Chains A and B, each alone.
Chain A
Amino acid sequence: MNKLNTALKTVPAITKQELLLHIAEHFPAEPVKITIDAGPSYEGLLLTIGKVKNEEVFLVLQITDERKQVTNRFVHLSLHKIASIELIEPADLINILSLGKKTKGEQYEVSGKLAVQRGFQSFSETIFNTHAVAVGVPTMELPADGLQLNRVLKLTQKIQNVIIELLKEEDARNSWKDRYNKIVFINNDTLTVKGVNDSVEIHFAFDNINAPEISADALTSLLMGIL
């Protein structure tokens, strides 16, 4: 729950209309309970939401019964009459409240060291096969915990994607080739990238499964800073 609360703090404020449009488009099977100013509440599935000629927004809700089964009852509501919207056991609250900008976060499974070492090997080979740049096989002091290893594995994939994207530009490829042929992953609370001799050091919370995911934009920017 702490992780959820932390994530919720990062969700921006949104209007009722934005929220309902997002639910109708991306989560049509998520039940909502809508209470209007006059008091009554309606629980059901959002069918449509849209503006009419006078710019007023209306929505149509298909009512569900006590067993959460859809009924043949529908309610047509004006948005400005809505007092509150309750999400009922949403599968991905963060996604809904952030309008799809964030998801509930990476879920980690158990991995072994061999899988990570193979991931490192694949990282190097994939980048070389894509851009002919020998970035090296990442070296890292691997954690013993399977979930932490799985996070390292998934982060490796994300870093690989960032580097592949970055090296699409010739000047980036040339600069990397000229300066670096090794890459090191180092555990650290904050994301930092350093060029140390012929090594690229990526400092990040690799082994903290409760820490946020690595930001592709921030990593790209930091890598560009050392090229």
Chain B
Amino acid sequence: MGLQEKRAVKTFQDGSYQALTNEINTLAGYPIEFEVNWDALALDEYAHLYEECFPKVYFTPLINAVKEIAADDMGKEALKGALKKVIIKNEGGFYYASSAYSFNDGVLTIDHQPFNNVDNITERSTVLSELLMKHL
């Protein structure tokens, strides 16, 4: 990761990332632990796309899923009992929702390439929501 990427990651961490995770926690009604492998996400020469792509690929689908699940008290309670932590990484080379999500022991893992199929937000939201619902 070069200096340009480091600066872009820092900007994202200090700004959008805070807002996005706050929004998720507010929707859920409790604090969810986030662990992001920034080194794997911050690919060289893509620094100008971090602000656009990270939210679309990793966070907006999660916001949509949590919004749907936590729409009522029953859903909030179930989510709180099941989802403890979210890990975001880019290790498996996955770029489709069907492969990108897994859930084990209260940990949701999002393993998706950061700059592929960026605009497939609806598909990712649906798949993620269905996956979480199966575990709640």
Interface residues of A (CB under 8 A from B): 110-115, 117-118, 121, 146
Contact = CB atoms under 8 A, between A and B. Distances in A.
A193 B136 CA distance: 30
B133 A121 contact: no
A117 B74 contact: yes
B75 interface: yes
Interface residues of B, number: 8
Contact of B134 (A110, A117, A118, A121): A110
A111 B74 contact: no
User: Interface on chain B toward A: helix, strand, loop, or mixed SS?
Assistant: helix
A115 B74 contact: no
Contacts of A115: 133-134, 136
Contacts of B74: 114, 117-118, 121
Contact of A146 (B69, B75, B78, B134): B134
A117 B79 CA distance: 13
A95 to B, nearest CB: 28
Interface in B49-96: 69, 74-75, 78
Give me the 6 closest cross-chain CB pairs, A-B, nearest first: A114-B136, A114-B78, A112-B136, A110-B134, A112-B134, A112-B133
A114 B135 CA distance: 8
Nearest to B71: A118
A116 B34 CA distance: 29
A118 B136 CA distance: 11
B78 A113 contact: yes
B71 to A, nearest CB: 10
Contacts of A146: 134
Contacts of A114: 69, 74-75, 78, 133, 136
Interface centre among A111, A112, A118, A121, by most B CB within 10 Å?
A: A112
A113 B133 CA distance: 8
A145 to B, nearest CB: 11
Nearest to B75: A114
B114 to A, nearest CB: 29
Contacts of B135: 112
A173 B45 CA distance: 69
Nearest to A121: B74
Nearest to A115: B133
A203 B111 CA distance: 44
A167 to B, nearest CB: 26
Nearest to B132: A112
Contacts of B69: 114
Contacts of A112: 78, 133-136
A137 to B, nearest CB: 11
Contacts of B134: 110-112, 115, 146
Contacts of A110: 134
A154 B11 CA distance: 48
Nearest to A111: B134
A113 B75 CA distance: 10
Contacts of A121: 74
Contacts of B133: 111-112, 114-115
A117 B75 CA distance: 9
A110 B136 CA distance: 11
Contacts of A111: 133-134
Contacts of B75: 114, 118
